[in-house]
């Protein structure tokens, strides 16, 4: 996670980027946007449904040979019924045991993060970003030039949203470049540098299309969730 010094650097970068512009830049730094509770359940269910049939297919092979081989007696048939009942009980027990064990293991945060599909992480990050963009926009009175830089630190993903007024003039290239700067920074020992670069890129877009008409108020601080 980021240190207090990193937060101070980001705050300074936002102030510099907003200077000489009427736009607002909001930087939200999120830890993990979701608990992904369905992931352990999905993995546990998959293993519990797929593994036991493979095991039972091997263990029931002698029984199938006895049934299809011919020449078996009534006593053998009675014994076969008992074996089948045991096999079915073992099957159900194995399923329940596998479900519980896999669910427990995949509930561990490091394991769950590795097994969570990337598309699901992306969906949750987008959802969280839109939520915070709406909240930030509601506090920016008389402003239609707000930009949100939403960084999910655990998921290592970034989402950049902008009001329609600035997006219509700036286009996608600026947001793509800013997101790329954050992603590149996450691969370096100093990820804050990537966030600073992204803020500067967004600030350049604001200054070009929405120059300031007077002195600005104190810059917004980056928000943590």
Same domain, 98 and 192: no
- Alpha-carbon span 23 to 88, nearest angstrom: 67
pLDDT at position 139: 61
pLDDT at position 149: 95
Same domain, 72 and 181: no
**106: containing domain:** 38-115
Same domain, 46 and 10: no
Q: Which residues contact 121 (CB under 8 A, 6 or more apart)?
A: 36, 152, 155, 157
pLDDT at position 218: 47
pLDDT tens readout for residues 155-174:
999 999 998 888 888 888 99
Same domain, 122 and 208: yes
CATH number of the domain within which 145 lies: 3.10.310.50
pLDDT tens readout for residues 58-91:
655 554 555 445 555 545 555 556 666 666 777 7
**What DSSP letter does each residue of 57-122 carry, written as one string?**
HHHTHHHHHHHHH----HHHHHHHHHHHHHHHHHHHHHHHHHHHHHHHHHTSHHHHHHHS-HHHHH
**What DSSP letter does each residue of 129-197 carry, written as one string?**
HHHHHHHHHHHSTT---EEEEEEETTTTEEEEEE-HHHHHHH-HHHHHHHHHHHHHHHTSS-HHHHHHH
pLDDT at position 140: 56
Provide the 10 A C-beta neighbour count for residue 175.
23
| Number of domains, the chain | 2
- Alpha-carbon span 119 to 127, nearest angstrom: 12
Q: Which residues of the chain have pLDDT under 50?
A: 63, 67-68, 74, 217-219
């Amino acid at each position: 996670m980021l240190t207090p010094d990193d937060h101070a650097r980001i705050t300074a970068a936002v102030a510099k980027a907003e200077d000489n512009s009427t736009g607002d830049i909001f930087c939200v730094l999120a830890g993990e946007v979701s608990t992904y509770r369905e992931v352990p359940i999905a993995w546990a269910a998959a293993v519990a449904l797929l593994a036991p049939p493979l095991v039972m297919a091997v263990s029931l092979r002698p029984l199938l040979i006895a049934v299809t081989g011919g020449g078996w007696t009534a006593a053998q048939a009675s014994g076969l019924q008992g074996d089948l009942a045991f096999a079915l009980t073992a099957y159900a027990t194995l399923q329940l045991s596998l479900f519980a064990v896999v669910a427990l293991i995949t509930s561990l945060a490091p394991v769950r993060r590795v097994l969570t599909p990337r598309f699901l992480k992306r969906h949750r990050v987008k959802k969280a970003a839109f939520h915070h963009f709406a909240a930030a926009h509601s506090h920016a009175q008389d402003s239609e030039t707000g930009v949100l830089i939403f960084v999910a630190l655990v998921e290592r993903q970034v989402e950049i949203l902008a009001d329609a007024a600035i997006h219509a003039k700036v286009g996608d290239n600026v947001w793509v470049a800013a997101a790329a700067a954050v992603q590149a920074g996450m691969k370096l020992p100093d990820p804050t540098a990537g966030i600073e670069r992204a803020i500067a890129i967004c600030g350049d877009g604001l200054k070009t299309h929405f120059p300031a008409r007077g002195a600005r108020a104190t810059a917004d601080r980056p928000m943590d969730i």
